[in-house]
Amino acid sequence: MYQVAEHVRAVADGDGTTLLDLKANQILALNKTGGLIWEGLQSGKSLDAIVNNIADVTGADKNLIEQDTQEFVATLTEKGLVANAE
């Protein structure tokens, strides 16, 4: 499980999600899939649950989704936007 950093604000719209990192004073625009991952992380869902949700919504290959999700979450972790809570 991952925890979203307290210094991050998110706004979702029909095109994706925009993140505001108040600590770094930066904005990060996410596409729809990135927004689904962010929403799952905010809700405290496991990566497996997030991957399953995206597979259900998009119909894309689950193995590819899993790989991309892990890479994306690693990037969010490197930027200090989320932390592994386990």
In single-letter form, the type of residue at position 26 comes to Q
- For residue 17 the two structure tokens come to 């999600």
DSSP 8-state code for residue 80: T
* Structural domain total, the chain: 1
Name the CA dihedral angle for 41, 59, 13, 79, rounded to a multiple of 10 degrees: 40
For residue 67, the model assigns a pLDDT of: 98
pTM over the 0.85 mark: yes
Question: The domain spanning residue 16 has which CATH number?
Answer: 1.10.10.1150
Is pLDDT of 5 > 90? yes
For residue 85, the model assigns a pLDDT of: 84
pLDDT in tens, 27-64: 999 999 999 999 999 999 999 999 999 999 999 999 99
pLDDT in tens, 63-79: 999 999 999 999 999 99
For residue 14, the model assigns a pLDDT of: 86
- Residue 75 lies in domain: 2-84
